[in-house]
Amino acid sequence: MTAITGETDVRPGQGEVFGHPRGLVVLAGTELWDRISFHGMQALLTLYMVEQLFLPGHIERIVGFAGFRSVVEHITGPLSVQALATQIFGIYVGLVYFTPSLGGALGDRVLGRTRTVTLGALLMTAGHFCMAFDQSFLLALLCLILGAGCFRGNLTPQVGELYPAGDRRRVVAFQLYASMINLGAFIAPLATGALGKAFGWHVGFAFAGFGMLIGLIVYLSGRSWLAPDAPRGPRAAAAPLTPAERRMVLLLLGLVPIAALFWIAQSQVWNTYNLWVRDHIQLQVGGFTMPVPWLQALDGLSPFVCLPPVLFFWRWQAARGREPNEFTKAAIGCFIFAASTAWLGAAPLVTDAHGRTPLLWAVAFHFASNLGWLYFAPTMTALFSRAAPKSVNATMMGVFLLSVFLGSVVSGRLGGLYEHVSPSGFWMLHAGLVGLGGVILLAIGARFSAAFAAAPEGAAAAAA
């Protein structure tokens, strides 16, 4: 992802809202609708593929799908409908997190931020509307992946460009911006889940498309409050890395597959988890059957609830000189997430007369797992931002996103096991993987924490 640094060039006289430039409201509002669009799509996709699109009478209509499936199965071996759906979901989400680094380069060097954000929003809007037709399913995914790369690779950096270098409001600005991500993740599954249940899958996808279109309108209508696009063209040649910087880059690269162990389990919550909820959780509340995607809304709500006590606890530890270092925090996050995933594996112990686990069991999982996420994800992001050499800081932040890409693709492959092992075995496998990640992080921290502690702050550290 492109670095969020540099001097601001915001035009004077634009005014402020609650002590921040008005452009922050524009960018946060745009990001809100992007996340409503993305998480709305994510909440429906696996269920839609399994319950309708990949069934006879539909799958034959998808343009180019036979060739695409043969390529996937050439790598994975033959896949059932359910395994194919989880694998495609993993590829889709992984590429959504991979392409922003390419989109950032496109905005920096060719089109500029405004044109690239606009192109990304239009591609994603077209992608959501293409989901209304069986024939254009693969085209829809392509548009969504390329659109996310253009859009996210150029929207987030504009937050940092609103503030002069060293402006302490920047930290709060990114907290407010991130809160829109969580708010969108909360709203989207509720809206698309309800629409999909009441009116069909395509209405849910159409809602996501209109959401993206609204986001584009918000962005373009407030463009005058944002920093002007920087001059485009090739960057000046960077100074070569010192031996110490090269060593740090290698250490950070080594963390990518370790972080991917966490994202394998986390990505499964976006993927096969919906099928598990459909099959094993008691969704009847009185006379109402709750839509499956509604539970994923808790992944947007839980961070709001869990973050204040986590920050208070870290502050309490710091005041006593007992706050863990970055590796220990990330490892704790892995262990909490592993325990939460094992909690899903233990669900058969508390079934009702119909063989279903109470809804509160899944609710507890979402709050516990997001506590683990708070320990792991922001800590690892901050570690990469702080430790990466200044000249390659943005590149290394993009490299960190490769861990999400790898985790998503692997989780899609592991989703094929859901039909062949018990639900308990399926979730215990994922608990073991993320727990292994925690053990390795503790070992790496014990060996290399001094080297990371001595690393100079990267250019994006203040922004992160």
DSSP 345-384: HTGGGG--TTS-B-HHHHHHHHHHHHHHHHHHHHHHHHHH
**What average pLDDT does range 431-436 have in this prediction?**
97
Query: Does one domain contain both 210 and 291?
Result: no
Query: Does one domain contain both 446 and 310?
Result: yes
Per-residue confidence at 330, pLDDT binned at 50, 70, 90?
very high
> H-type helices in 281-325, by residue range?
298-319
Query: Does one domain contain both 71 and 190?
Result: yes
Query: Does one domain contain both 23 and 154?
Result: yes
CATH number at residue 291: 1.20.1250.20
Query: Does one domain contain both 199 and 289?
Result: no
Instruction: Flag whether pLDDT at 412 surpasses 60.
Output: yes
Query: Does one domain contain both 214 and 318?
Result: no
**What average pLDDT does range 437-448 have in this prediction?**
92
- Compute the mean pLDDT over every residue in the chain, rounded to the nearest whole number: 86
∠ Cα 202 206 208 (to 5°): 120
Residue 448 lies in a domain: yes
Instruction: Flag whether pLDDT at 147 surpasses 50.
Output: yes
Go through the chain and tell me how many residues it has: 464
Residue 207 lies in a domain: yes
Instruction: State the pLDDT at residue 3.
Output: 36
Q: 16 has which bridge partners? A: 21
List the structure tokens of 106.
Answer: 């496109």
Inter-residue contact 357 to 348 (CB < 8 Å): yes
Q: Helix, strand, coil shares of the chain as percentages rounded to 5?
A: 75, 0, 20
The residue from 166, 201, 228 where one domain ends is: 228
List the structure tokens of 444.
Answer: 């790496």
Write down the residue that tokens 């990466």 correspond to.
388
Residue 13 lies in a domain: no
- CB-count exposure of residue 325 (10 Å: 0-12, 13-18, 19+): middle
Highest mean pLDDT among 29-38, 171-180, 188-197, 333-342: 333-342
Highest mean pLDDT among 12-21, 274-283, 289-298: 274-283
Instruction: State the pLDDT at residue 427.
Output: 96
Residue 323 lies in a domain: yes
Per-residue confidence at 461, pLDDT binned at 50, 70, 90?
very low
The residue from 204, 228, 252 where one domain ends is: 228
Instruction: Flag whether pLDDT at 359 surpasses 90.
Output: yes
Query: Does one domain contain both 337 and 276?
Result: yes
Instruction: Flag whether pLDDT at 462 surpasses 50.
Output: no
Per-residue confidence at 4, pLDDT binned at 50, 70, 90?
very low
Q: Which SS3 state, helix, strand or coil, does residue 464 take?
A: coil
Query: Does one domain contain both 103 and 144?
Result: yes
- CB-count exposure of residue 223 (10 Å: 0-12, 13-18, 19+): middle
Q: Of the candidates 142, 116, 115, 117, which has an alpha carbon nearest to the alpha carbon of residue 127?
A: 142
* Separation CA 429–CA 416 (nearest Å): 13
Query: Does one domain contain both 212 and 328?
Result: no
- Strand 288-289 and strand 284-285: the pairing is antiparallel
Calculate Rg over the CA atoms of the chain: 22
In DSSP notation, 111-124 reads I-HHHHHHHHHHHH
Residue 429 lies in a domain: yes
Instruction: State the pLDDT at residue 14.
Output: 55
Q: How many CB atoms lie within 10 A of CB 74?
A: 8
Instruction: Flag whether pLDDT at 424 surpasses 60.
Output: yes
Inter-residue contact 34 to 155 (CB < 8 Å): yes
Residue 178 lies in a domain: yes
Instruction: State the pLDDT at residue 235.
Output: 58
Range with lowest mean pLDDT among 132-136, 316-320, 351-355, 417-421? 351-355
Domain total in the chain = 2
Instruction: State the pLDDT at residue 292.
Output: 87
Range with lowest mean pLDDT among 270-274, 394-398, 456-460? 456-460
Query: Does one domain contain both 249 and 277?
Result: yes
In terms of residue numbers, what domain contains 301? 242-457
Instruction: State the pLDDT at residue 15.
Output: 65
Instruction: State the pLDDT at residue 106.
Output: 86
Phi, psi of 360 (to 5 degrees): -65, -25
* Separation CA 58–CA 217 (nearest Å): 34
Query: Does one domain contain both 27 and 70?
Result: yes
Range with lowest mean pLDDT among 129-133, 247-251, 378-382, 442-446? 378-382
List the structure tokens of 380.
Answer: 């690892």
Per-residue confidence at 459, pLDDT binned at 50, 70, 90?
very low
∠ Cα 285 291 295 (to 5°): 85
Query: Does one domain contain both 150 and 290?
Result: no
Phi, psi of 56 (to 5 degrees): -55, 140
The residue from 177, 205, 228 where one domain ends is: 228
Per-residue pLDDT reduced to its tens digit, 14-56:
567 667 788 888 998 999 999 888 888 888 999 999 999 999 9
Q: How many CB atoms lie within 10 A of CB 373?
A: 21
| Residue 79 CB partners (closer than 8 Å, separation 6+) | 69, 72, 73, 87, 416
**What average pLDDT does range 67-95 have in this prediction?**
93
Handedness of CA 15, 19, 21, 27 (dihedral sign): negative
Instruction: State the pLDDT at residue 172.
Output: 66
Residue 10 lies in a domain: no
Instruction: State the pLDDT at residue 456.
Output: 55
Inter-residue contact 423 to 431 (CB < 8 Å): no
**What average pLDDT does range 238-245 have in this prediction?**
80
Residue 8 lies in a domain: no
**What average pLDDT does range 379-398 have in this prediction?**
77
The distance in angstroms from the start CA to the end CA of the chain is 12
pLDDT cut 90: percent of the chain above it: 45
* Separation CA 144–CA 279 (nearest Å): 29
Q: Of the candidates 315, 28, 276, which has an alpha carbon nearest to the alpha carbon of residue 173?
A: 28
